[in-house]
Amino acid sequence: MAEAIHAEGLSKTFNGSVRAVDNVSFSVDAGEAFGFLGPNGAGKTTTVSMLTAGLAPTGGHAVVDGVDVFRHPNEIKRRIGLVFQESTADADLTGRENLELAAALFAVPRREVKQRVDSLLERMQIGDAADRLARTYSGGMRRRLELAVGIIHSPRVLFLDEPTLGLDPQGRAGFWKYVQELRKDHGMTVFLTTHYLDEADGICERLAIIDRGHIVATGTPSELKDRLGGDVITIRPIRPDPSLEASLRAVPGVTSVTAQDGTYRLKAQKGEELVPTLVQACAQSGAGLASVSVKRPSLDEVFLEFTGREYREEEGMTATDRAVRVGQFQQAIGRARR
């Protein structure tokens, strides 16, 4: 399959010392939904800014839709769609005017503008508010308008930089529904950054986990979860039996067993398929079975596994913010010395 995005050794250092992105390499197939997952300050937005010709890299190169990003930034801007994490629609224009302006800037053929604008307004369910100023829109409507502006020129690659930040769960679900529809209808490649693990799991065919400027893992959500050692099976016997642990360990496919407070936690690939055998082992040992549950590992556990840290919405600064702060600090030191 053709590559829509190829990044090789991409690096960005701010102020000569803050390495926001460090030697990042990855590729995204055409039509794929690829997620960049990581906490604030991990380097997600810096990577998107470089891939969309908004930020010059310190090192490496990138090709998007067959075009070298750093040699032909204007051509890249023509080919991609970009939805920022913050609202960028003009609050003093109506939803329709925002779309018409974007259509003119992206050179959408004049005869197609009206049809495309009307169609997008309807699709994003802002048709009724099309002639209202964008400043009167709700958060969800503004996000949908942002998405409409980002795709007015039917880009082949769509970059979404934390597009659902600040939206309520209903708003987020609605937004992703539109993205999935667009992918289905237009075969668009989607590159998204998020720190909502559930979103990445539900939308992306492949993921890269980025932490402190480095990619620490890449794969499908299932592959990443499988690397943890598979599913977690929790067995609670009716009565304690010293021989049960050995019996459970002996079941083919079980990779580890830990006992705690009379409950056994097993790790196994394809846990559901092992349940009958495990039930049988409990019965044969005489311990009996009070309950059994099988849980697929979540991306939270994946993140913990690969970064050694709990995944949480860190209140910390973004890589760019950190760089700015470091720059200000260095300037202050310089002034103090003088």
Reading phi first (left if > 0) and then psi (alpha if -120 to 50, else beta), residue 262 is in left
- Is residue 301 involved in binding other proteins (CB under 8 A)? no
- Is residue 111 involved in binding other proteins (CB under 8 A)? no
3-state secondary structure of 232: strand
3-state secondary structure of 266: strand
- Smaller CB separation from other proteins, 50 or 281: 50
Starting from the edge strand earliest in sequence, which strands make up the sheet with 231-236, in order?
254-260, 263-268, 231-236, 291-295
- Angle of the 110-123 helix axis to the 95-105 helix axis, nearest 10: 140
What's the closest the beta carbon of residue 142 comes to other proteins, in angstroms?
A: 11
What's the closest the beta carbon of residue 333 comes to other proteins, in angstroms?
A: 22
What's the closest the beta carbon of residue 226 comes to other proteins, in angstroms?
A: 37
- Is residue 322 involved in binding other proteins (CB under 8 A)? no
d(CA 305, CA 238) in angstroms, rounded, equals: 32
Residue 105 parent element (H or E): helix 95-105
- Is residue 178 involved in binding other proteins (CB under 8 A)? no
- Is residue 326 involved in binding other proteins (CB under 8 A)? no
Contacts of 276 (CB under 8 A, 6+ apart): none
The one among 26, 34, 36, 84 contacting other proteins by CB under 8 A: 84
For the segment 22-81, give every residue that binds other proteins (CB under 8 A). 49, 52-56, 73-74, 77-78
- Smaller CB separation from other proteins, 93 or 228: 93
Contacts of 260 (CB under 8 A, 6+ apart): none
- Is residue 317 involved in binding other proteins (CB under 8 A)? no
Q: Return the range that interacts with other proteins (CB under 8 A); candidates 103-111, 205-213, 286-294, 328-336.
A: 103-111
132 closest CA partner among 96, 162, 164, 102: 96
Residues 317 and 42: beta-carbon distance below 8 Å: no
The one among 59, 105, 284, 286 contacting other proteins by CB under 8 A: 105
For the segment 243-272, give every residue that binds other proteins (CB under 8 A). none
- Is residue 195 involved in binding other proteins (CB under 8 A)? no
Residues 53 and 69: beta-carbon distance below 8 Å: yes
The one among 16, 59, 91, 128 contacting other proteins by CB under 8 A: 91
Residue 199 parent element (H or E): helix 197-203
Q: What DSSP string runs through 142-170?
A: HHHHHHHHHHTT--SEEEEESTTTT--HH
- Is residue 318 involved in binding other proteins (CB under 8 A)? no
Report the sign of the C-alpha dihedral through residues 302, 305, 306, 310, in that order.
positive
Residues 65 and 79: beta-carbon distance below 8 Å: yes
What's the closest the beta carbon of residue 46 comes to other proteins, in angstroms?
A: 10
- Smaller CB separation from other proteins, 52 or 194: 52
The one among 89, 179, 233, 248 contacting other proteins by CB under 8 A: 89
Q: Return the range that interacts with other proteins (CB under 8 A); candidates 93-101, 183-191, 257-265, 294-302.
A: 93-101
Q: Return the range that interacts with other proteins (CB under 8 A); candidates 31-39, 96-104, 229-237, 242-250.
A: 96-104
Residues 76 and 53: beta-carbon distance below 8 Å: yes
The one among 22, 32, 65, 100 contacting other proteins by CB under 8 A: 100
- Is residue 107 involved in binding other proteins (CB under 8 A)? yes
Residues 52 and 60: beta-carbon distance below 8 Å: no
- Is residue 283 involved in binding other proteins (CB under 8 A)? no
Q: Which residues bind other proteins (CB under 8 A)?
A: 49, 52-56, 73-74, 77-78, 82, 84, 86-93, 97, 100-102, 104-107, 133, 149
